[in-house]
Amino acid sequence: MAQPLTRTWVRFGAYMTAAALLVMLVLGVGLLWQQHDQRDGFYANMPADVHAELDQLQATGQEKSARAADIYEKYWPDDGPGLAAALLLGLVVSVLLGCVAAVLADRIFIRPLASVAEAALRIAKGDLTVRARALGENGELAELVRNFNLMAASRERLENERKDTIAAISHELRTPLTILQGRLHGLCDGVIASSDAEHRKLLDQAEHLVRLVEDLNTLTLVQAERLSLHCSSMDLGSFITQLVPLYAERAASHGVKMELHTETALVLADRDRLRQVVTNLIENTLHYAADGGVLEIRVMIEGQLAILELSDRGPGLPEGVTERVFDPFFRVDNSRSRATGGSGLGLAVVQMLIAQHKGSIEAENRAGGGATFRISLPLLRPQ
């Protein structure tokens, strides 16, 4: 019973009904008072013998006789001010209740709506910190104000994220472009000698730019729900066995040895996107955990899931960041130095691509040191 009373239209209807009943009560009391006053005047103006005669007529059941009618017509007093007083009193009470209703309507309807309208106008002008004010905790209008404030908070958060993303993207693009520009100017001016090593450095910067643009494109497509997967049946173990050796030379240049332990696990996946996932995870290890010297990659089956694990022997993840490592542009050291990490997009792309495959990814620290990234994909059973 308490729940319907929290609805605005129910409460306002109850207020109006109570006001109408109060006006009717005032008018009824006024009419009763008038009738009582007239009856008292009727008996007060009547002679004693006529009073006794009327009582005799009423006792014998002749109160509707012609003689009784003559007595009432002769001695019944005029209406006087009773009816007018009752109507005037009812009018006064109605006006007062109308004022109270106006105040309630202003409090229940006008103020919350005016607050929402004012907040919406200020938000449209660029002030994303403004919030509407609710005068109560219950009712549809209070819920409207709460939902409006949630929308405003979400809008403010998205705007802040947009600004942070633009700043991060501009920084990530500026760093390799500045290096490329400086070294190319050096080559053109003869300050830097042309050599295979120098060409390798320039190629590394170009490849970094390509990876950054690809990751940004993938994030944009996923967030816009426009990423198309071209999935086919594949053996995850065989896929990893063929893919990982392609990175052996690059891993060796960082002093990392890769160890493979795979078994047959059929999944439905997009080969190109899965290659992007593995590439980003390996690059993440080479950036953050190369000093561990080992990257262990496993493919196994657990129940109805195919599991892909990549475990390093590096410093591991700081406490409390195992969930945040998948946020776009998140950096464990909160640094933007290329020497201490990548762009901060790799793991965000990995999580989104795995989610597109109806899978999940988790990050945790190994008991013996280092970090483990564990990917779970639905196992494909042959028909």
> Quick one: average pLDDT of 98-124?
75
Integer Cα distance of 119 and 153 in angstroms: 12
pLDDT on residue 305: 94
> Quick one: average pLDDT of 36-63?
74
Per-residue burial over 215-252, b = 16 or more CB atoms within 10 Å of its CB, e = otherwise? bbebbeebeeeebeeebeebbbbebbeebbeebeeebe
Distance of CA 28 to the CA centre of its chain: 54
Integer Cα distance of 242 and 196 in angstroms: 28
What pLDDT digit, counting tens, does each position of 269-292 carry? 999 999 999 998 998 888 888 788
SS3 content of the chain, % helix, strand, coil (to 5): 65, 10, 25
> Quick one: average pLDDT of 358-373?
91
Query: Higher model confidence: residue 345 or residue 190?
Result: 190
> Quick one: average pLDDT of 27-45?
71
Contacts of 124 (CB under 8 A, 6+ apart): none
pLDDT on residue 335: 46
Contact call for residues 268 and 231 (beta carbons, < 8 A): yes
266: left (phi over 0), alpha (psi -120 to 50) or beta: beta
What is the pTM (predicted TM-score) of this model?
0.58
Domain ranges of the chain: 2-127, 162-223, 232-378
* CATH (one of 2.20.25, 3.40.190, 2.60.120, 1.10.287) for 162-223: 1.10.287
pLDDT on residue 340: 44
Q: How far is CA 13 from CA 78, 97, 101, in A?
A: 40, 14, 11
Helix residue ranges per DSSP H, 46-139: 48-59, 66-75, 82-105, 111-124
Query: If you average pLDDT over every residue of the chain, what do you get?
Result: 80
Integer Cα distance of 134 and 169 in angstroms: 39
* Percentage of residues in the chain having pLDDT higher than 70: 79
- Pull the structure tokens for residue 93: 């009470």
Task: Assess whether pLDDT exceeds 70 at residue 176.
Answer: yes
- Pull the structure tokens for residue 122: 């200020």
pLDDT on residue 1: 38
Contacts of 274 (CB under 8 A, 6+ apart): 239, 353, 357
**Amino acid code (one letter) for 207:** E
The one-character DSSP state at 365 is E
User: What is the fold, at CATH topology level, of the domain defined by 232-378?
Assistant: Heat Shock Protein 90 (3.30.565)
Task: Assess whether pLDDT exceeds 70 at residue 34.
Answer: no
* Percentage of residues in the chain having pLDDT higher than 90: 22
Query: Higher model confidence: residue 225 or residue 259?
Result: 259
Task: Assess whether pLDDT exceeds 80 at residue 331.
Answer: no
Give, to the nearest 10 degrees, the angle between helix 66-75 and helix 48-59: 140
303: left (phi over 0), alpha (psi -120 to 50) or beta: left
Contact call for residues 368 and 311 (beta carbons, < 8 A): no
